[in-house]
Structure 1
Amino acid sequence: MSDQENMGRGRPRQFNIDDALDQAMQVFRSQGYHSTSMSELCQAMDLTVGSIYKAFGDKPTLFAQVFGRYLSLRNQALNARLKDSENGFQKIQILLQFYIDSVQDIEGKRGCLVVGSAIEIEVLNQQLAQAVELALNKNLSNIKQFIEEGKQDGSIGKQLNTDTAASLLLCLVLGIRVAGKISSTSPNDSIISLMMGILKN
């Protein structure tokens, strides 16, 4: 998808919408919604303020598009890993590994847009706050589904309380993204085996 930026009297310059959103995404992930200025977005996206408003709208509208694209890309990446899973236990194992891998190197330092936005939810408008809440609830729902699948296929203990375990897992994956922003606290694969042991018992 592409759009045009008006270059004065010269010919309009083509730019890729998705590429521009990806550049804005890096700024929002690194600095958060509230701390990101339009001038910083202009620099990152290599567009004028007018072009950003024309193509994406104001800052909240731009952020909503960035947030939607972030979720789409993350879900695509996770689903690509999950497609070869054999049971609910493996799905949770893959999910945890996905989050561990997400905090490696520069990716980890940039942080998770969902987690960062949840921390800032009080400064977001109602529409954005609802989008963040929906994303978190969707994550929780998916985890519950994986646990129930595991209990049905026998890979997870039937005595496990689904709601409690799902809440614990959600806190764990969100915590992984927070701890991953600092090298000294970045988690590794060892926490996966510990968590999976809880699900087995």
Structure 2
Amino acid sequence: MARPAEFDRTDVLEKAMNVFWRTGYSATSVTDLVNATKLKPGSLYGAFQSKRGLFLEVIDTYAERSLNRVSSVMEDAETPLKGIEQFFKCFCDDLVHDRLGKGCLMVNTMLELATEDDEIRERVGGYLSQVETYFTNTLTQAQKQGLLDKQQSPEDLATYLMTNIWGLRVLSSKRPDQSKYDAVITNMLKALHSPCH
């Protein structure tokens, strides 16, 4: 019996990710994945059990990469608030250069599948909650350093920042110029420096 062909799992996940990211889960066929990964259907099913199994692993890979990026940006900044500012600048820069309008795979997945698949919703929601926790922890640190008014709630502001992520994704579908993103960031940062009333 011939040995099954070996393949680079990371490379396969990357290629599958690009397909799911571009067309969405439901619109992606096994044929699309076979064409993109150059694996035969048997090898694909043998490695990932199903299209859904492959998608879940793609989500895990994408989320880990995103969380590492958030953590890196936050930790490398001069101050906590600078970290948040830098995160959103990088985020908007990605949107400006997203010529295909792919957006965020996690946000796209929530919009597409949240009402249809409990496991995927909970998994993606868990990753998004981790991003929100990064914001909460960073804002709490800013408050301890006297950079954020004591009247502000780090948890509420973190939710506000997450809402801006969703809003910016929707805005990006209109292909606005850089000035629109800059205005959003400027006004968002003002909210972090102003006390609640």
Q: TM over 0.5, yes or no?
A: yes
Instruction: Say whether 1:104 aligns with 2:96.
Output: yes
1:150 corresponds, among 142, 156, 162, to 142
Alignment of 1:53-68 (within 5 A): 53-68=45-60
Q: Which runs of 5+ in 1 are unaligned?
A: 1-7
What letter matches 1:114 in structure 2?
M
CA contact (8 A) 2:48 2:54 kept: yes
What letter matches 2:34 in structure 1?
C
Alignment of 1:44-193 (within 5 A): 44-106=36-98, 109-120=101-112, 121-124=114-117, 126-184=118-176, 187-193=180-186
2:34 corresponds, among 36, 39, 42, to 42
Distance 1:142 1:164, change over 3 A: same
Deviations 1:90-142 (A, max 9, x none): 12112212211221323661221110111121222x32221012112212222
Q: Which runs of 5+ in 2 are unaligned?
A: none
Q: What is the TM-score of this pair, normalised by structure 2?
A: 0.87
Corresponding residue of 1:21? 13
In structure 1, distance between residues paired with 2:37 and 2:72: 29
Identity of aligned residues (%): 26
What letter matches 1:58 in structure 2?
S
| Range 42-51 or range 180-189, more displaced | 180-189
SS at match of 2:101: helix
- Measure how far apart 1:12 and its partner are: 5.3
1:197 corresponds, among 167, 187, 190, to 190
Distance 1:80 1:189, change over 3 A: same
SS at match of 2:7: strand
**What's the C-alpha RMSD, in Å, of the aligned pairs?**
2.2
Aligned length: 192
- Measure how far apart 1:56 and its partner are: 1.6
Q: What is the TM-score of this pair, normalised by structure 1?
A: 0.85
Deviations 1:150-182 (A, max 9, x none): 111112222112232222110101222232244
